[in-house]
Structures are given as C-alpha cells and as structure tokens.
Structure 1
Amino acid sequence: MGGSEEFTIDVKGSETVVAVLPVQEHRLPLSNLDLLLPAMDVGVFLCYRNPEGKHCRSTFASMASLLKASLAQALVTYYPFAGQVVANSVGEPELHCNNRGVEFVVVFADVELRDLRLCNPDDSVEGKLVPKKKEGVLCVQATELKCGSLVLACTFDHRVADAYSANMFLVAWSEIAMLKPLSRLPSFRRSLLTPRQPLQLHPSFDRLFVPVSSLPPPKPHHSDQAVNRIYYIAAADINRMQSSAKRRTKIVVFTAYLWRVLAKAAAPEDRWCRMGVVVDGRSRLGNAAMSSYFGNVLSIPYGSLNVESLRRMELAEVAEVVHRWLRPGTTEEHFRGLVDWVEVHRPEPAVARIYCEEADEGPGCVVSSGRAFPVAEVEFGWGKAAFGSYHFPWGGSAGYVMPMPSAKGNGDWVVYMHLQKKVVEALEAEHPPVLRPLTPDYHLTDTN
C-alpha cells in the first residue's frame, strides 16, 4: 500500500484567536437534545495540496495567517465556539459565551501528503494531525507537510454542535476567507426545541434512551480492541448494493450491509446484534428556521436481531428491517416526543441506549450519515480539499461509522470507522470487496 508508518510533528506555535468584535457576555442554555450528548469531542480534517505553481503562490505562513484572520471574523457570528461549557445551578452543562477564544496550533509534520497512510488514522491522524482540545469548545490545528501541503483540522465539543452545525461553521469560515457573503446565518433559538405543554410521553423512548443512573454496571472489556479505519466505497458498488433492495435508500442498504458483517464477526456467546442510525431532525420538525439551527438535533433509533437469523438473511431482507425501525424515528412527533422525554428526566443526564453495552444485548454499531459533509465547499483560496474526513475515536463499546462524500465529487463515499478489530477483519474479508482501504493513488487524484 505504500506510505509512511511513522512521522514526527513539531509544534511551531500556539495562540488564542478571539472574535474580532466584542461579544456581549451571556449564558446560552443547551437544548434538551444537546443534553443527550455526554462530554465528548469530535474531530474533522481537510487536506489541501501545495498550491505552489497553481493559480496562487501562497506560502504556508500566509495561509495560516489568513486562516487565523478569517477565524476571528467567523467567531463573531459563531460566538458559541469561542466560549466554554460550564455547569448551571442544577449541575447541567450550559454555554458561557465569553469570547475566551479558540486555541490555534501551528505544526510541521515531517511527511509528504502522498505518504500519509490515511487508511489507518490511528497512526497518521490521531495525536498528530487532529488536535486534542484542552479547554473551551473548539480548537484548530494547521499542519504544514514536508511537500508544502496543508492539513486543517478542528476538534469541537459535541454537546455544543453536531456535524450539521460544524459544517455550517466550516463553510462560513471559508466564505469569509474568500470575501464572500455568508450563505447562511446560524440560529441559536432554543425556543425551536422547547418542550410541549402539557408534556406528551411515549413509552418507545424508554427503549431508545436511558437515564445514566439506570445503566447497569459496565461489562468487562473484551480483549478485542477498537481500531479506526478510513475506507472508500466506489459509486458503482453503492449502486450495486442498492439495486438488491430497490425501494430503500443508499444509507439504509449500507446500514443493512454493515449489520450483516457485524453478525458475522459476533462472538459465540453473542446472541443479539444491534444496529442504530443517527437521524438529523432539522428537516423533520416542520419549521424552515430549523435549516440554520446551530446545536444538536439528533436521535438514534436502533434495532436488535438474533445473530444466527441475521447471518441467514439476504441483504434486501435486512434493509426492510432497518427501514421498519428507522421510519418511526424520522417524524416530527418523534423529535417533539424526545424533547418532552428529556424534560421529564432533567436534571439527570440521559444517553442513547445503543451506546451502552447491556448484559442482555450483544455488540452494537451506529451509522451516522456525514453525506452532507461540505468537502468541496470549504475552500480558502488555495484550491479545493484533496481529501476530508471526520475523526471520532470516541472510546465507547459500540462501533461508530460515518460515510461522507468523496472529494472527487464522483459519487464515491469516504467512510470513517471506529470498530472492534474483529469486525474490521470481517469487513476486509468480504467478497466482492465493498469497503476498500484508502491509498495515495485514490485520495490524491484530481478532484472535480
């Protein structure tokens, strides 16, 4: 496969970037849907080729300078990213919008873009290209590679923003750098997600979500550790999979495919196998203002199947099962009901049940569609990104899989995976292959 197993990084400097205009200091409560997220960080990174010899002659120093200056302007509009999460009077997290700023780290990495083994982010990305957030809500790292290419990475607090919100911010940041008007202004109106009066409770939420105090003690960790991988799926393979379940969407069929592989990798003692899908509720809530809402608007419906039954089922059959348990989680009533359910349990924190390894249920995995990832839109003046991906080695017992559009713009998907090693081995043994490891030949070919 080629590439460099090891490379060193050298931190050249770090500074705090604050909003270029003063921000009125205030507290911004988290919504009920934000409160379903535990304290965890999510990373995203974009790789840009050396622009030398193209339409511009940017040096890394000038690129880093532009990134800082445009970030300072973006933080005026996206001021929650310059704040910090604090506890309110009942111990719940909330945002202190105080313009404490964003740590911006500049790094040199002794590796060329073509030698980055992005297929194995445990070696190439973790602790090297994506920064660890020490405090605040967001931190940024700009890395200069030996070939003059640039990797831009952000790590943000998931309690404050979901991927949709982070995408809005990245696009706005690049629009500011390119001196363009903002195509969308974020909304922080928590009233869009207020509970109903009277509250309307449905017992289905007790199956999908659980107060933290009700969780059973964690099971002993399996010796099989989780690893992180980045693959790609060719558009032709996506279409081929979907053709076997014509009435279902690509993401439903992909979820069904993963569920079957998860069952193949299950241990002999595992009787059940769980699969969930992250649903963004913005388009479900019947309010146009939700299209610019900044925060978390997520639910995670899931299903459970007997391992042996799952192994025997055809892909189209599994896709029908996915569709059946997913569909009720894609309605306005579902999201309004979830807001009400959280309200009943506050201030006690609650989490999505599929993230918790319970005694009577086997391995679990969550698919979070990143197919709105704006890899082709986040352009700062030195060309489009050659590659982009989320990075979320979150450490839980459930797997986490995120398909995104390839920077090629040809219908391929890039797929970030955080899975048990035995599941990765089962995926790579599939024939014909569906998920293929990234190679420099793939991610460095010209984009559209």
Structure 2
Amino acid sequence: MVKEGTTGGGAVTITAVTTVAPALPVQEHRLPLSNLDLILPPIDVGVFFCYAAPGGVAAAVLKAALAKTLVAYYPLAGEVVANAAGEPELLCSGRGVDVAEASADGGAVMRDLRLGRPDESVEQLVPKKKAGVMSVQVTKFRCGGAVVGCTFDHRVCDAYSFNMFLVAWAAAARTGSPAPPAPSFRRSFLAPSNPAPPCAGTLADRLFVPISRAPAPPDAAAANRIYRVAAADVAALQAAAGPGRTKLEAFTAHLWRLHALAASRRGIGSCCMGVVVDGRARLRGDGAMRGYFGNVLTIPYGVLSAGALRGAALADVARDVHRWVAEAATGDHFRELVDWVEARRPEATVARAYLGRGEGGEGATACVVSSGTRLPLGEVDFGWGRPAFASYHFPWQGGAGYVMPMPSARGDGDWVVYVHAAPEVVEAMEEEPTVFRALDSGYMFG
C-alpha cells in the first residue's frame, strides 16, 4: 500500500506505481521552452475521466498505449530543469510517466462520488505529480468503473496541447484505430524578432509584468466546486449578451456580474476578470500551428467597479469582455508578447490577471476563465466507451480564482464547469437561481 485517502464513497488505496517510458529509446537532449511557455508559473493542472465500464478498465492497456504515445509526445516523458541562465527548460530524457494503480475500498461505487465537491472526492483521484512532467492515476471501483486522472506541468503545454495527447493516447489503446497526426515542437513558430524591440507601453506590457514588479497576491481562502450548466442556459446567456458574442464571452460576463455581489459582501470595490485566449490560428491562419505542442496563450482582462457591474445589463458587460478579448486575439499581439518576454529574459514574468489585484494594485475579486470546451470527449475512448463524466481540477495558489468550462460527457450541449474561487463568489453562484446547477449521480452516471 502506498497511499490512502477518501473519495466521499470510501477509501482509496494505491497498490502499485509504475514508471512508463516511451516504447522506443529517446536520444537525450534539451528542448528550450518558448517565450510563451515562460510566461507560465510552475503550476500543475489536473483532469480526470470517469468510465462506467462494465467489462472493467485495464490498466495494462492504458500503460501499453501510453508507452506508444510517448514516442511522439516525448516531452511528457521528460523533466523540467534549469538552464545556465536559471530559466526552466525541458530535459527530454525518456524518464517516463509515473502511473499509479489504485482501488476504492469499502465496496465503493462511482455513483457514490461527490464530484460536485472536489475537495471531498477528486483530490484522491487526480495524482499529485512528484517528478517528471506528467503523472497518471487509475482508480478502480467495485461497480467495474474506473477513474483515469492526469496531472501535467502547465509550463510544458496548454489544455489544447494536452487534448491532442489525450486523443492520441486513447487512439493507441483502441485496436485498429489510426494514429492522429504527430505533434509539432517547432519553436521557430514563436521565435522573437531579431533584435527584439523593448515593447514598453504595448498591450503585452499592460497584460504581463516582471516578477520583481508584481505585487504579492492576496492571501485568501478558496472553495472548489464542479457544476453543470444546461445547454439551454448557455444559449440564453448568449442571446442576452447580444449579437456577435460567443458563448464564452456571455458566460464570462455573467460570472463577472456575480463577482460584483461577492465584492460587495467583502467590502471590495473592484472586480477583475480575465480570459485565456489561444493564439494558434491568430499567428498562422493557414493551420500550420494546428498541431503545435506547447503554450500559445495570452490572458487579457478587464477591471470594473462592483457598483458599475451590479447596475449593468449583461449585454453591456459582454460588450466590454468582447472588447478586451478581441484586442488580444490578434497575431500582432502574440508576436509582440514573444518579443516582450525576450526583452526581459531571464527574469520571470506573470500575467497581471493572475495576481488578484485591481488596476491600481488594490484588492479585488478576481477570476480567470479558461475554456476547455474544445476537448473532444467522444475521442477519449480507450476501448471501453466514452467517459460518463469528465472535468478539470486546478486548485492553484494564485491570487485569482480559476473557472474552466468543458463539454458535458453526455454530448447534449451541457457544460461541466470547474470552479476554484473565493467562498463569497461560490456563495453568489449558488444563490443565483439559474445557470450553475449542482451535480447529482443521476446526471453523471445515468
């Protein structure tokens, strides 16, 4: 026995840990992180998939498929080390990925999982990464179902990249499934200008800050929840947000207004809201970066007073969200951000949206929304069917909350939304009569 914990449905015992190396030898080498990787702090992201597999989930199949997939996705089998300048970079050593096998004791079944309260359940199903870039845990239940949890170093890849890996891993496990296209690690896509301009006073300078100039994030409590949002509520939010607004912009505007209520209860005057924007199609409209593995993101944000938000219509707030998202969603901004980082290396930088502060450095209710809605859950099938439920898990230590919507595994247009936020924000979300709905076992597992 290696570790015990509880899932809300019984104890979890880890019975074995194996390090799975790539199926073919890796020539050890160092792979520099791109300038857009370097804007990420050393944080780990978790994601988990629940499989109601009556025939049982075979850990041996998962490990064999993982070994095959790591041949193409070899950075996930390496380690993050420091280079001569003290910056992080990848040591592609073929060390492998730690895979833990676990069992839920006490006759626990997956329907017993209180997934809406991740601190009571998910904490024991998603591995704590101790070494390497990635780790996996497979937890089996008496009902025959299993949970596959993964944790990865965000400095190495974003959610888009990890989605590519998940689809390739699942395809390798299914007999006869064609392999997806191999990932690209072509760092020249994100090469800085030569020489890189100083980029002071630009959008990049407004959105990011060197660590030495960053205010310390507030020390605040946070609560973790997972909710469901019905497809009809997503559509209603988008309609109320006005023409030309995306679902994510409408959702972000609604969440921003809820933060105003929480701010009032805490006596805070400012509300900061950020959105993660992917830059692949912005940098290369020809699709050349579609398979790029790494981080290609920026985090624009806005700050409004709690009073202004409380009195604003959703369409007005969504217009503001659209304005600052559109400003950052350009190839010019991403190229500028690459140069901005280059001009400040080797000093580390951080997104201002992560700091939980207002424009003047004052305390604020703050949140970053990162969309996982493009994860093709139907393709994360290892041979025993699509997941019955899936969610991200990201209880990080930043100054801002973090909210991650993704498609429901039911495939009906609903969203599953992971929330890591101040308790007052969670309270406001749960008091609101629509949109954020509690999970129940019938919804998750039929």
Structure 1 length-normalised TM: 0.93
Q: How many residues align?
A: 430
Structure 1 unaligned regions, length at least 5: 53-58
1:176 aligns with 2:186: no
Shift of 1:325: 1.1
Q: Distance in 2 between matches of 1:395 and 1:231?
A: 21
Matches within 5 A, 1:157-196: 157-179=153-175, 180-196=177-193
Asked if the contact 1:270–1:362 (Cα under 8 Å) also holds between the matched residues in 2, the reply is yes
Report the CA distance between 1:204 and its aligned residue.
2.2
Question: Would the aligned equivalents of 1:274 and 1:361 in 2 still touch at CA under 8 Å?
Answer: no
Q: Does 1:23 align with 2:33?
A: no
1:207 deviation in Å? 1.7
CA distance in 2, matches of 1:366, 1:232: 18
List runs of 5+ in structure 2 lacking aligned partners: 1-5
Match of 2:278 among 242, 256, 280: 280
CA contact (8 A) 2:80 2:88 kept: yes
Letter in 2 for 1:441: G
Identity %: 56
The CA distance in 2 between the partners of 1:259 and 1:331, in whole Å, is 24
Aligned residue number for residue 323 of structure 1? 322
175 and 4 in structure 1: CA distance in 2 versus 1, 3 angstrom threshold: closer
| Pairing 1:228–2:242 present | no
Match of 1:56 in 2: none
Q: Deviations over 1:39-73 (max 9, x none)?
A: 11001100101323xxxxxx44xx11100111011
Q: 1:307: Cα distance to partner?
A: 1.0
Matched, 1:107 2:102: yes
Residue identity opposite 2:318 in structure 1: A
1:269 is aligned to 267
Amino acid at match of 2:247: K
Partners of 2:417 and 2:23 in 1: how far apart?
36
2:36 aligned residue: 33
Matches within 5 A, 1:208-247: 208-219=207-218, 221-222=219-220, 225-247=221-243
Change (3 A) 1:4 1:143: closer
Residue 147 (str. 1) matches residue 143 (str. 2): yes
Q: Distance in 2 between matches of 1:6 and 1:73?
A: 34
**Matching residue of 1:351:** 350
Distance in 1 (alpha carbons) for counterparts of 2:266 and 2:419: 23
Aligned twin of 2:113:
116
Aligned to 1:50: 53
Q: Quick check: 1:36–1:352 contact (8 Å CA) kept in 2?
A: yes
User: For structure 1, which segment, 174-183 or 207-216, has the greater mean C-alpha deviation from structure 2 after superposition?
Assistant: 174-183
Post-superposition Cα deviations, 1:300-349, rounded to whole Å, max 9, x if no partner, equal 00000011111100111100011111111100001011001000110000
Distance in 1 (CA, whole Å) between partners of 2:363 and 2:270 is 6
Query: Within 1, Cα distance between the matches of 2:122 and 2:7?
Result: 12
The alignment partner of 1:183 has SS state of coil
**CA separation in 2, counterparts of 1:322 and 1:424?**
21
1:178 and 1:218 mapped to 2: Cα distance?
Answer: 45
Partner Cα distance (1:97, 1:410) in 2? 40
What does residue 382 of structure 2 align with?
Answer: 380
Matches of 1:144 and 1:173, distance apart in 2: 19
Name the TM-score, length of structure 2 as normaliser. Answer: 0.94
Native 8 Å contact 1:227 1:420 kept in 2: yes
Query: Cα offset for 1:198?
Result: 4.1
Residue 245 of structure 1: how far off its partner (Å) = 2.1
Q: Hey, what's the Cα distance between the residues in 2 that align with 1:15 and 1:4?
A: 22
Q: What RMSD over aligned residues (CA atoms) do the two structures have, in Å?
A: 1.4
Alignment of 1:70 onto 2:65 = yes
Offset at residue 199 of structure 1 (A): 2.8
SS at match of 1:14: strand
| Counterpart-to-counterpart distance in 2, 1:315 and 1:283 | 28
Q: CA deviation at 1:218?
A: 4.4
Alignment match, 1:444: 445
Shift, 1:361, TM fit: 4.5
Contact 2:217 2:398 in 1 (8 A): no
Alignment of 1:301-316 (within 5 A): 301-316=300-315
Corresponding residue of 1:363: 365
d(CA) in 2 for partners of 1:70, 1:405: 25
Tell me the SS of whatever aligns to 1:275: strand
CA distance in 2 between counterparts of 1:146 and 1:165 reads 33
CA deviation after TM superposition for structure 1 residue 250, in Å? 0.7
Whether contact under 8 Å (2:370, 2:404) holds in the other structure is yes
Structure 1 residue 259 corresponds to structure 2 residue 251: no
Find the counterpart in structure 2 of residue 94 from structure 1: 89
How much does 1:6 deviate?
5.1
Amino acid across the alignment from 1:169: F
| Cα separation, 1, equivalents of 2:111 and 2:398 | 32
CA contact (8 A) 2:209 2:352 kept: yes
Partner SS, residue 290 of structure 2: helix
2:3 aligned partner: none
Q: 1: CA distance between counterparts of 2:293 and 2:394?
A: 20
**Residues 96-146 of structure 1: CA distance to partner in whole angstroms, max 9, x if unpaired?**
0010111010000132111111111111011x1000000100111111012
